[in-house]
Amino acid sequence: MPLTDITDVTDEVGEALAARRPVVALESTIIAHGLPRPRNLAVAAELEELVRAGGAVPATIAVLDGRIRIGLERPQLERIAREGGVRKLGRRDLAPALAAGASGATTVSATAFLAARAGIRVFATGGLGGVHREWTRDQDESADLRVLAETAITVVCAGVKSVLDVPATLQRLETLGVGVLGYGTEWFPGFYLSSSGEPVDWTVHSPGQVADVVRAREALGPPESALIVANPVPEPEQLDPALHDRVLRDALGECRERGITGQAVTPFLLDFLTRRTAGASLEANIAAVRGNAHLAARIAAAL
Ligand code: PSU
Ligand code: MN
């Protein structure tokens, strides 16, 4: 069965891709499982507007009723934001979800995979998945990393979620051959924080410089891999680092105590932080994603 038979591309996205106009992919897990309702719907719509304001067409990606959706109309965005039973789909979950006629939100791994297949070259998200701090015990490493190692796409993010083991994740990215550029910074961003305290090897300062790197990568040819553009949340909008460290310690403790594992870990930690920082982590998270959506559009336009 050809992929096009099970994929619905909105007219707007399809026309933009055919005319080689800039398109930016957006993931849907952050909407369904990363942000609280009803704010999630407002943010999802705002991200699309930010992409437009940056000069590109937004393509939010999800699976609805067993069909791949590249670009969502408003009623479909509402379903992802509001419906119960919207599953969290990594790349490996796509086939069973499609076969079952299920609906689900796509993580970075599934979104990057589907976006690249659809011919989209730039993707914006909040924070990537990565190596969890309890890796030595449970080997929890997000499928995001493996997919980024095999997929030619530029991913604009605010680093990896700070609930993870950031140095270990950077090591894995190096091993996997995934390029990392700091955008306007010499430090890898810390998702809720402007800096994780870990250095990056390469820094760029404009969308044009990112486009130069992408073109050089394309000239080098296979094997394909992703390019991460690590764009920090502006310092005035970051979460207070002391509050971050304190609440995160509690979150990781509670996660372990309650025996939460697998796909549930990331949503649990994000929600715990939101509740225990009285929404401050949520604001930092949203500020980061906003900046990424806008920058991704400018990069897509520069390409
Ligand atoms: N970044 C956010 N919020 C999120 C996520 C990332 O700001 O909800 C999601 C992404 O979809 C990412 C996923 O791919 O969390 C990683 O989950 P896991 O650690 O279970 O692979
Ligand atoms: Mn995991």
Residue 1: the pLDDT is 79
Whose atoms come closest to the Cα of 155: which ligand? 1
Number of domains in the chain: 1
Task: Encode pLDDT of 147-200 as tens digits.
Answer: 999 999 999 999 998 889 999 999 999 999 999 999 999 999 999 999 999 999
| Catalytic positions, written as ranges | 27, 161
> For ligand 1, what atom is nearest to the CA of residue 30?
8
* Rounded Cα gap, residues 182 and 39, in angstroms: 29
* Rounded Cα gap, residues 118 and 4, in angstroms: 9
Q: Is 129 in the pocket of ligand 1 (CB under 6 A)?
A: yes
CATH code, domain carrying 13: 3.40.1790.10
| 89 within domain boundaries | yes
Phi, psi values for residue 75, rounded to 5°? -60, -30
| Residue with CA at minimum distance from ligand 1 atom 21 | 142
Q: Is 292 in the pocket of ligand 1 (CB under 6 A)?
A: no
Per-residue pLDDT band for 71 (boundaries 50, 70, 90) equals very high
Q: Is 164 in the pocket of ligand 1 (CB under 6 A)?
A: no
Task: Encode pLDDT of 189-241 as tens digits.
Answer: 999 999 999 999 999 999 999 999 999 999 999 999 999 999 999 999 999 99
> Within 10 Å of residue 28's Cβ, how many Cβ atoms?
30
- Please tell me what DSSP assigns to residue 164: B
| 51 within domain boundaries | yes
Residue 33: the pLDDT is 93
Query: Domain range spanning residue 71?
Result: 1-120
H-helix segments, the chain: 11-18, 29, 39-53, 74-82, 94-100, 108-118, 135-138, 143-150, 166-176, 207-220, 241-257, 265-276, 280-302
| 92 within domain boundaries | yes
| 95 within domain boundaries | yes
Adjacent-strand bridge partners of 8: 69
| 37 within domain boundaries | yes
Per-residue pLDDT band for 7 (boundaries 50, 70, 90) equals very high
| 267 within domain boundaries | no
| 102 within domain boundaries | yes
Give the residue carrying structure tokens 């310690």. Answer: 249
Per-position b or e across 234-260, b if 16+ CB within 10 A of its CB: eeebbbeeebbeebbeebbeebeeeeb
Q: pTM here?
A: 0.95
| 136 within domain boundaries | no
